[in-house]
Structure 1
Amino acid sequence: MTVDLLDPATTALLVIDMQNAFCHPDGTLGISGVDVEPAQQIIPPLHSLIESCNAAGVSVLWTLQEHFATDHSRARKRLASHTSKRKQVSALAGTWDAAIVDELAPLASDPALVIRKHRFGAFYCTRLEKVLDMMGVEALLITGATTNACVETSIREAYLRDYDVVAVTDCIAGVREEWVPTAHAVWGQYFCELSTSEEVANWLDSSSRPGAVALGHLLLQVTDLDLAERFYLGILGLTVKKREKFRDGRPLIVTNEGLGLTDGGPGERGPVEHIAFRARDIGAMAERARAEGATIIRGPEPSSYGQSLYLGDPDGNQVELFGAPESAP
């Protein structure tokens, strides 16, 4: 599943224009003869997806389309705009038409995460890009209404800004069902990956379980530290992050690239002093290790990485797990 390649810590859910104007039978599209049933149908899976994101710590951002009764910019157009093809101007600022539908409104409680826009694109003349940058977001799960207008424009804008983009297809609705297959085909070819809310929820669930996430660093125990330093720093070009000493007095060189070098010391475990993995929930990992009868060398304990737990693998190699101390005793 493609979404498995993403990191929830740098992913956000973007909910586009789930407003009465576009989703309610009494909204602008509804009274203009557009079938809004597809928009009604995506509300339950979208609600569930938002709750899954909240539970997993994935930020949820919203866009609100807002129009003005008098729009001099649009009035300059000689050709008819899309708004002139409806019975009224949709989503006038401050009206019921512009409000998020009742089923989802309670979930959009943080005004800092609500992006107001005046054209199709979520990025066009809005603060969205800066907000995402400040939050460290690299990937977007895109949902909302409508398929061929605001959603597609926002997908294209996100892709052109080099975000990883996933369109959650069962949480996106359009005004013409016959247009949807073509939209999906074009998106999948050029702009994003297609997924479902169930697939995303399963990914979030698996990603939130305690476990090792990625190799953090490798510490080599060398016979001649000077020669090793010349090789790894002088020849390979690694750079020094810090120099310090272990508790037993051994010197330690830590590189910015994740490699550590130290002299052989007591015990002479071999060339690999220890392997370290970034992990989720160090406390839960310690509980799991105890339950499984694994060797706990020490920890959980405070470390320069937050919290560290040292385990022994079946061959006696030392494995460090480090990360946030969510439930550490």
Structure 2
Amino acid sequence: MNTDNGLAPLRHRNRWRFSGGTVDLHRPDLPARTATLGAEPAPVVLDPTRTAVIVVDLQNDFCAPDGWLAGIGVDVSVLAPAVDLSAQVVAAARAAGLPVIWLNWGNRPDQANLPPGVAHVYDPRGTGEGIGSRTAPSRAPVLTKDSWGAALTDGVGSAPGDLHVDKYRMSGFWDTPLDSVLRNLRVDTLVFAGVNSDQCVYATLVDAACLGYDVVLLTDASATTSPSYCHDATVYNVRQCYGFTASTPDLLDALAAARPLDAGHRTAPTTPKDSE
């Protein structure tokens, strides 16, 4: 279930420090760790300390039986395995000290920043049944910030310390703070899960690769309501053009075998004067 209960004190990874009246521009030390991940087209060695998990659009309007997508006749039951596996990925990521980022549609109620092309995708006949409408079975405003439809679906839940980013396009990088959040986390490898694999997951992954991030798509913790060949083509394109693909069991094995994160590094918040 959705257990979003606020933010834990964030351990900032990108802050200056103060020592004896001097501003020290050294960032906090991030001890390197090693995890070998069975991936395609080749196994990869990644640093869990510089890796984050991005979970895309596991929200009620896409995944729940009374959400918007189900309400327009789409079979959302095909997404359930990806929801379950994403929950396993998130739990393992937290245990290994990887940042978890929930990236969901959360449009402004006034839609002031929503371009017409995006609005059209969700209301192609112009009948007013798309973003912001109350036409879903839940009667919640569709894909709108702080609504039931924008909340995490049953089977996954937020925990203190997770990060949340609202998005307003297929890609989570446009008109959002996602890139700033990632750069302040000082991560360079991104592991992707969520829905729909051929749409929002893929669009965000491609933009991440174009921005210089290393990208890994979890083929089984991502899914789509599109025909199966759309997911297959997405997997092919990720391997061919942008990065790597892996399975959830392979990721769990890699994180379990990685050198454990120092407990002090995991939990101690960094303050501006912690180096004095």
> Does the alignment reach a TM-score above 0.5?
yes
| Runs of 4+ residues deviating >4 angstroms | 72-77
Change (3 A) 1:207 1:4: farther
Contact 2:114 2:168 in 1 (8 A): no
User: Is residue 225 of structure 2 the alignment partner of residue 175 of structure 1?
Assistant: yes
Aligned to 2:205: 155
Provide the TM-score with structure 1 as the length reference. 0.59
Q: Measure, in 2, the Cα distance between the counterparts of 1:133 and 1:68.
A: 25
Return the offset for 1:121: 1.0
Q: Kindly report which structure 2 residues correspond to 1:117-196, keeping only aligned pairs within 5 A, or say none.
A: 117-176=167-226, 177-196=228-247
Distance in 2 (CA, whole Å) between partners of 1:149 and 1:108 is 26
1:82 paired to 2:121: yes
3-state SS of 1:119 partner = coil
Q: Is the 8 A contact 1:23 1:39 kept in 2?
A: yes
Give how far 1:7 is off: 0.6
Sequence identity percentage: 26
The offset of 1:208, in angstroms, is: 2.8
Q: Which secondary structure does the structure 1 equivalent of 2:193 belong to? A: strand
The one of the two structures with greater contact order (alpha-carbon pairs below 8 A, sep at least 6) is 2
Q: Which residue in 1 is equivalent to 2:29? A: none
Q: Distance in 1 between matches of 2:63 and 2:249?
A: 22
Instruction: Assess, with a 3 A threshold, how the Cα gap between structure 1 residues 130 and 80 changes in structure 2: closer, same or farther.
Output: closer
Structure number with bigger Rg: 1
SS at match of 1:63: strand
Q: TM-score, normalised by structure 2?
A: 0.69
Which structure carries more strand by proportion?
Answer: 1
Q: What is the Cα deviation at residue 85 of structure 1?
A: 3.7
Alignment check: 8 A CA contact 1:56 1:208 kept: no
Distance 2:88 2:119 in 1: 39
Q: Secondary structure at the match of 1:5?
A: strand
Number of residue pairs the alignment of both structures matches: 208
Match of 1:67 in 2: 107
Contact (CA 8 Å) 1:11, 1:140: kept in 2 or not? Answer: yes
Relative to structure 1, the CA distance from residue 98 to residue 4 in structure 2 (aligned partners, 3 Å threshold; closer, same or farther) is same
Matches of 1:114 and 1:69, distance apart in 2: 18
Equivalent residue for 2:81?
41
* Corresponding residue for residue 156 of structure 2: 104
Q: Which runs of 5+ in 2 are unaligned?
A: 1-37, 132-141, 263-276
- Taking a change above 3 Å as real, the CA distance of residues 125 and 203 of structure 1, as seen in their structure-2 partners, is same
Question: Quick check: 3-12 or 27-36, which moved more?
Answer: 3-12
Separation of aligned partners in 2, 1:30 and 1:48: 24
Query: Per the alignment, in what secondary structure is the counterpart of residue 258 of structure 2?
Result: helix
Preserved contact between residue 53 and residue 191 of structure 2 (Cα < 8 Å): yes
For 1:55, the equivalent position in structure 2 comes to: 95
Task: Select 1:208's aligned residue among 259, 265, 269.
Answer: 259
- Indicate the residue corresponding to 1:14 in structure 2: 54
1:148-297 to 2 correspondences below 5 Å: 148-176=198-226, 177-208=228-259
Quick one: distance in 2 between partners of 1:76 and 1:52?
39
8 Å CA contact 2:52–2:98 kept in 1: the answer is yes
Residues 65 and 116 of structure 1 are in contact (CA less than 8 Å); yes or no, is this contact kept in structure 2?
Answer: yes
Quick one: distance in 2 between partners of 1:206 and 1:114? 28
Contact 1:38 1:174 in 2 (8 A): yes
Partner Cα distance (1:49, 1:23) in 2: 18
3-state SS of 2:207 partner: helix
Give the aligned residue type for 1:91: L
